[in-house]
Amino acid sequence: MDTKLQTYRPTHNVVVIGHRNPDTDSICSAIAYSYLKNHSSKLDTEPRRAGEINQETAFVLKYFGVPVPRLCTDVSPQVQDLEFRQMPGIEATTSVHKTWELMRKDNIDTLPVVTKSGQLESIVTLTDVSDACMDVLDTRILAESKTPYRNILEVLDGEMLVGDPDGCVETGKLGLAAGNPEAMESFLEPGDMVILSSRYEFQFCALEMGAGCLIVCSDAEMKVPKTIQKLAEERGCTVIVTPKDFYSTARLLSLASPVRHYMRLKDNILTFTLNTPLDDAQKVMAQVRYHYFPVVTRGGKYVGLLSRRNLLNLRRRQLIMVDHNEKSQAVEGFENAEILEIIDHHRIGSMETQVPVYFRNVPVGCTATIVTQMFHENMVEIPKEIAGLLLSAILSDTLMFRSPTSTPVDERAAEELSKIAGVEIEDYAAKMFEAGGNVKGRTPQEIFLQDFKVFKAGDTRYGIGQGSYMSMTNLDAAKELLLPYLPEAARDQGLADVFYMLTSVRDETTYMIYYGDQGEELLRTAFPGCKFEKNAAVLPGVVSRKKQVLPAISGAFSQI
């Protein structure tokens, strides 16, 4: 068994991630910027998503043959973010003696017991080994623990002359034959194991009395005569020879028992998975006095041993944030991560960092436009599928250049990207918006969360969602599903007021549905003179959450 100690070291990629409830820009910009960083820097990055993708984004990824990024809802420190000891596991049949040697060699008081396939079976501690050493007076311990003969050969430096090395001690007790052969009659019973000398008469007498195993102590060349070996074979008696003396043999034999006889029951051991939150692990460690805790995968495979001092070796997750810079929109646990960069086109929000970071915030219609510029600045060629993702994000965020947030820079970037991607803007945009607006078979929650963001006005939390539709049929269907769902959404999100923009791309009009004690008052204050029809405020020319709706509602909160 390889007992070389190693250290588990975290090998996480830098996570490039957008906001919660991600839209097309959030997902596509993360994928594209990750590609750019991997081809223009020494960073090893991976695009991730902080929530489920919406139908529009699913259409885009499928259209250009790009896989959906892996989900990442929390970057809080976990056990896998620590360095810890990768002490090799031992098998349950390992002898107590061997276990003690490993503990002493590696200066550790806990060893994991694992199966051949690497599954954690249990642990054995120095206390367990000490208990085993106290069993030296238990003459039946070898049979009770089903000790493998290989363990006996190992601890005694022995040689098996007769018997099966792969067998186990099944019955009998342990005895010591000294003095004269007749003395064995007082203690030896059929099936017993007996320690004796190389004298012929002792060996013959033990066989005659039905011994199950002879352990012969002798350093002479002639240890067991052939006649004794033949007789033992006929009677099914195991014969082992050892160069050790009577005293050493008797002491060591009890240590040949396997650790499975002493190890803790699996249900009674405390383990952590690689994904256990660090806060949870610290709480458990503070309540018990164990020195080491096994770490396993979710499937139960043993990984290593964690101790309290390993908590000092935390390696925080590294993040690059795209398309947002507000705390309320960031992935859970971001405050415990190391933020490397922020790439965004929204207002400067409430984000704080512990050290200076690269922060690029440009007043354009889409984060993807900024990422396109950065491809040029770093002289990295934009692949066809990446160009398609960037184009889709720009068309989505600018509502095909109808949004007041759209700039000539966005339009020029889109024209360039459409040529690389090999698509015609008008035709492709119509397909993309139609796919995103189709509500057939979707739940209200899925529609609501496809593009929803939480904001704060003083101590009040409120949310604004948006769905863009090419046809009024899809818009009305979405409205019918969402109106009765808004109270539930407000409760689930813990919000005082909820607004949802149902935006007609063709008419450049938003039908604002809402819920909350101040909802209607806020809308009348934010948009003086607006009309209310069928439980919605009709807002002609309003299509941008960022530039038209958010500033207006934020101002309305301050007025009322």
In-domain check, residue 138: no
Domain endpoint, select from 436, 454, 469: 436
- Beta carbons of 310 and 290 less than 8 angstroms apart: no
In-domain check, residue 1: no
In-domain check, residue 2: no
Nearest-angstrom CA–CA distance, 165 and 148: 8
* Most confident listed range (18-32, 193-207, 435-449): 18-32
The domain that holds 168 is classified in CATH as: 3.40.1390.20
Nearest-angstrom CA–CA distance, 116 and 123: 15
**Would the pLDDT of 409 be above 70?**
yes
Confidence of residue 135 (pLDDT cuts 50, 70, 90): low
Pairing of strands 452-457, 358-361: unpaired
pLDDT at 136 (0 to 100): 61
Name which residue leads in pLDDT, 221 or 258. Answer: 258
Domain endpoint, select from 233, 256, 279: 256
pLDDT at 8 (0 to 100): 67
3 state DSSP class of 31: helix
**Would the pLDDT of 31 be above 70?**
yes
Residues 352 and 426 both lie in one domain: yes
Widest CA span in the chain: 117
In-domain check, residue 26: yes
Cβ neighbors of 104 (< 8 A, separation 6 or more) are none
pLDDT at 490 (0 to 100): 94
Q: Is residue 164 classed exposed, middle or buried when 0-12, 13-18 and 19+ CB atoms within 10 A define those classes?
A: exposed
Confidence of residue 459 (pLDDT cuts 50, 70, 90): confident
Residues 331 and 398 both lie in one domain: yes
User: Over the stretch 425-442, which tens digit does the pLDDT of each residue have?
Assistant: 999 999 999 888 888 888
The residue segments making up the domain with residue 97 are: 80-132+261-313
Mean pLDDT on 311-321:
88
Sheet of strand 292-296: strand arrangement: 7-8, 84-85, 302-307, 292-296, 272-273
- Beta carbons of 217 and 225 less than 8 angstroms apart: no
pLDDT at 1 (0 to 100): 41
Residues 426 and 332 both lie in one domain: yes
Residues 16 and 51 both lie in one domain: yes
Mean pLDDT on 521-537:
91
Mean pLDDT on 316-322:
93
pLDDT at 350 (0 to 100): 78
Measured CA distances, 7 to 101, 303, 305, 313, 479 (Å): 21, 10, 10, 11, 56
Q: Does the reported pTM lie above 0.75? A: no
**Would the pLDDT of 373 be above 50?**
yes
Residues 207 and 177 both lie in one domain: yes
- Beta carbons of 156 and 252 less than 8 angstroms apart: yes
- Beta carbons of 337 and 75 less than 8 angstroms apart: yes
Half-sphere exposure of 117 (CA within 13 A, CB side): 4
538 strand-pairing partners: 511, 531
In-domain check, residue 140: no
**Would the pLDDT of 268 be above 80?**
no
Amino acid in position 47: P
**Would the pLDDT of 3 be above 60?**
no
Rounded (to 5) percent helix, strand, coil in the chain: 40, 25, 35
The domain that holds 104 is classified in CATH as: 3.10.580.10
Residues 90 and 162 both lie in one domain: no
3 state DSSP class of 409: helix
Mean pLDDT on 138-156:
91
What is the total count of domains within the chain? 4
User: Over the stretch 41-72, which tens digit does the pLDDT of each residue have?
Assistant: 999 999 999 999 999 999 999 999 999 999 99
In-domain check, residue 458: yes
**How many other CB atoms are found less than 10 A from the CB of residue 291?**
15
Residues 286 and 386 both lie in one domain: no
Residues 176 and 236 both lie in one domain: yes
Percent over 70 (pLDDT), the chain: 97
**Would the pLDDT of 84 be above 90?**
no
Residues 179 and 71 both lie in one domain: no
Mean pLDDT on 439-458:
89
Mean pLDDT on 154-158:
93
- Give Rg (Cα) of the chain: 37
Positions of E strands within 384-496 = 452-457, 460-469
In-domain check, residue 139: no
Half-sphere exposure of 390 (CA within 13 A, CB side): 33
Mean pLDDT on 18-46:
96
pLDDT at 17 (0 to 100): 97
Residues 89 and 64 both lie in one domain: no
Residues 69 and 105 both lie in one domain: no
Average pLDDT of the chain is 90
**Would the pLDDT of 324 be above 80?**
yes
pLDDT at 220 (0 to 100): 59
The domain that holds 399 is classified in CATH as: 3.90.1640.10
Residues 343 and 429 both lie in one domain: yes
Tokens of 397: 């965020």
Confidence of residue 222 (pLDDT cuts 50, 70, 90): low
In-domain check, residue 321: yes
- Beta carbons of 194 and 188 less than 8 angstroms apart: yes
Confidence of residue 247 (pLDDT cuts 50, 70, 90): confident
Domain endpoint, select from 241, 256, 271: 256
pLDDT at 478 (0 to 100): 93
